[in-house]
Amino acid sequence: MHNIRIGQAVDIHQLQEGRKLILGGVEIEHSKGLLGHSDADVLVHAVGESILGALALGDLGKHFPDTDPKYKGANSLDLLAHIYEMMNEMGYQIGNVDATILAERPKMAPHIMAMRKNIAAVLHCDMEDISIKATRGEKLGFVGNEEGIVSLSVCILEKKR
């Protein structure tokens, strides 16, 4: 039985006009949104998948397949709540999450506190246990060319006492 487990994940979604931009459960005003079967919240997907990885339960697609109509347009925070239940049933809690968003635009700084609050609420942990940072693509690659957004996440899970 492990007392501490670590997981990591990367998620990428394409930007497209006519979609809402939702990151960390926050709807952000922008000319493009993320393309995906659910709400395509790349940040919440990376956080959830890092937890699944720490638990050795596979990836998001295994649990929430994009071929299943019930996940069409799904709120990713609801998917994260399901992942929390799996983690809780296995006897683990969040030690901490450290996530990064790679997006050229829009600016993430005004939204990071709300993202942290949303994710901490779903994972039943303190906001201090959720770190979210953002960086730009500096006009390089698909991030810099505003074709997509990437999010990375690392988490530590602790066995509940």
Interval 33-69: pLDDT, tens: 999 989 999 999 999 999 999 999 999 989 998 888 8
Is the pLDDT at 116 greater than 80, yes or no?
A: yes
What is the model's pLDDT at position 55? 98
Determine the pLDDT at residue 2: 80
**Whether 37 contacts 52, CB under 8 Å:** no
The Cα–Cα gap between 69 and 92 comes to: 30
CA angle 152–48–143, rounded 5-degree value: 30
Residue 72, pLDDT above cutoff 90: no
Q: Which residues of 98-126 are buried (b: 16+ CB within 10 A; e: fewer)?
A: bbbbbbbeeebeebbebbbebbbebbebe
Q: Is 1 a residue whose pLDDT tops 80?
A: no
User: How many angstroms separate the Cα of 33 from the Cα of each of 120, 127, 159?
Assistant: 24, 26, 37
State the DSSP H helix or E strand holding residue 54, giving kind and residue range, or none if neither: helix 42-54
- Indicate the pTM of the whole model: 0.96
CATH second-level architecture of 4-159? 2-Layer Sandwich (3.30)
Rounded CA-CA distance 37/42 in Å is 12
Average pLDDT of span 78-105: 98
* Comparison of pLDDT for 71 and 43, the residue scoring more: 43
- Is the pLDDT at 157 greater than 90? The verdict is yes
Which of the 8 DSSP states describes residue 105? Answer: S
In a 3-state reduction of DSSP, which class is residue 123?
A: coil
List residues forming the annotated binding site for a divalent metal cation.
11, 13, 45
Tell me the binding residues.
11-13, 37-38, 45, 59-61, 64-68, 103-109, 142
